[in-house]
Every structure is written in structure tokens, then in C-alpha cells.
Amino acid sequence: MSDLNRIVNKILSNGKGILAADESNSTMTKRLDAVKIESNEKNRLAFREILFSSQSIKECIGGVILYDETIRQKDSNGIGIPELIISNGALPGIKVDTGAKSLAGSKEEKITEGLDGLRERLKEYYDLGARFTKWRGVYTITDIYPSKLCISSNAHALARYSALVQEVGMVPIIEPEVLMDGTHDVMTCFKKTAEVLQKCFEELEMNNVDLSGTILKPNMILPGKDSDEKISRYDVAKLTLECLKNNVPKSVPAIAFLSGGQSDIDATDHLNQINIINDTDFIMSYSYGRALQQSALKFWSKDIMNKLGTQDVFDHRVRMCSFASRGKWSESIENSK
């Protein structure tokens, strides 16, 4: 087992998952505005510190993805945020892309930027305590998208990023997200996700990325959120598993799904169904942002001094996802709180 593979297993083994707390300041402002809390550095840190010091971080979270602002901050006791996370048994990670911009040659689509100067930034993040990273490519489904240009351009960027990350001894999370936005049916999502994954792994292998030292963070196979198609959670799980089995090399050790705008319960139940029928060697876990944080954020916004109450809400959601990562979640467990 390589050092990178050991990191993957530390993050995602034994029912553990990843807390995605890497929202940019602009995204976090939207989240805080929605619950009528002022978005400033103090409040962003206060909410995140509550999560990072919770009991579920020790029990159910193996890694926390941070934003550049957060990895440099200290908590209310003067402890660096990476040190706080490590002390609770998880590993700090860092978002390293600089966002999705209009793709030259196909202006309606996006290309993720951030490769310039990445080698130097990675060395700094490693010194700050990060041991894994995240880069997100986004793909929109319409009658003509995603284009081959978008699929190829983002796959190349994900591969170059991954090679640079492994060069400094960190694990890259590879996140090719086929968005839920649109009216497409579930089989269109299946087909387009397959195309995206095939191209990503073609580029990763071409760039000599050690797949055993990576984590794939894909979307689940779902109809567009504006589609009228009805599909059972079991069928979502079945199609998602089929797509991954057909298009992800067996040398990839772990898959940590994004929630992609699903509700808390949908994201939990879909993951649970996937693990009930999982007949692969892939670890199937979670790397959720809103699906872990939103209920806690709403509770916290009513009384930002209620740390324990907020942690209680957060801990419940995380534990439910941990059950789901082992195929042991149920509605009765969900509602037993």
C-alpha cells in the first residue's frame, strides 16, 4: 500500500466520509444571507469551528475540505484550523481550483481554472497541513451539451491538477460534476456521465496519475431537477452503480459522492441504496457540503451562541450519512432522534 493509498483509506474507511466546507466567500455569503446572518470572516469561522469541533468529526468524518481563507485561520482558542481538525482525528484538505469560467470556443459552458502557479500553492498548502485536495469540473446537459470540447478540456485540467497534487504527496479528489440542472431524463444523465468519466480516466492515465492514490467525487445518476420523470431511489442507485462499474478503473480505491443539490434525505437514502447493492471493491461514501451543513446552519442562525444545539443537529446528519455509507440507514433510524 502506497502512502497516498493509506491517506485515502484513513479518510474514507470504516463508514467515514468527507465534510465539504470549501465554499468560497461569495458562496458562503449566499448561504448566510439566506438565513439572515451577516457574512464576515468572524461569522464564517464561528460556524465552521462549531462543525470542526463536533463529536461526529471524531466518529464519522475522515477529511474536511477547506477554503483558502479557512486553512489560514485560528479557532477561538488560538489553535490553527488544520490542527483542530487533526486533533479530532480527521485530515485537512483544500480546494485548489480558482473557479469555473466561460470556456473559450463554447461560451455557454465552463472550464475550471487554477493550474497557473498551482505547484507552488500546493507546497504552501502541504506546509499548512493539507493532505488532500479538490478540483471540480462542471458539465451542463442540454440538447447539445456537454460538448466534446468541454469534456476534453475539463478532463485535461483534472489530470494535470492530479499529477501536480501527487507530486507533492497529497491525494487529489477528482470531481467531474454533471449538473442536475435541466429537463433531461435519467438515461441522458447516464450517457453523459459515462462520457465524462471515460475521458477523465483516459487523461489521468495519460498523465501517469496513480489511480490508487485518488478519490473520485462524482454525481449520482439522476434526472434533471426540472424533469417530470419519476424514478425510484433504488433505480437511481442501480444506474449509478452500473455507470461507475462500466467507466471507473478498478484501481480507484474510493468514491465519495457529491450531493449536487439533493435534499438531505435524498442524498442519504441514495447513498444507502448504493451500498446495499454495491458488488464492487470501491469504498462508496460521501463528500457532502449542503447535505451535511444546511440543517445545522438553519438551527445556528436562530441563536449563534447555541453551539451544543447546532452540533447536535450536525452530528445527527453526519451519523445518518455514515450509516448510509455502510448500507445501514433506515427511516426508522432517521426518525429515532
Q: What residues form DSSP beta bridges with 256?
A: 285
User: How far is residue 221's CA from residue 205's CA, in Å, rounded to a whole number?
Assistant: 24
User: What are the catalytic residues?
Assistant: 175, 217
Residue 111 identity (one-letter amino acid): I
> Please, where are the H alpha helices in 13-94?
25-34, 41-52, 55-60, 68-71, 81-87
Which among 133, 189, 121, 185 is positioned nearest to 158, based on CA atoms? 133
Q: What angle do CA 204, 21, 317 make, to 5 degrees?
A: 110
Residue 216's H or E segment, with its range, is strand 215-216
Please name the residues in contact with 105: beta carbons below 8 A apart, sequence gap of 6 or more.
149
User: How far is residue 142's CA from residue 134's CA, in Å, rounded to a whole number?
Assistant: 26
User: How far is residue 153's CA from residue 323's CA, in Å, rounded to a whole number?
Assistant: 37
Residue 249 identity (one-letter amino acid): P
C-beta of residue 133 within 8 angstroms of C-beta of residue 120:
no
* DSSP codes joined into one string, 86-140: HHTT-EEEEE----EEEETTEEEEEEE---TTHHHHHHHHHHHT--EEEEEEEE-
C-beta of residue 191 within 8 angstroms of C-beta of residue 154:
no
* DSSP codes joined into one string, 261-330: T--HHHHHHHHHHHHHH--SSSEEEEEESHHHHHHHHHHHHH-TT-HHHHHHHHHHHHHHHHHHTTT---
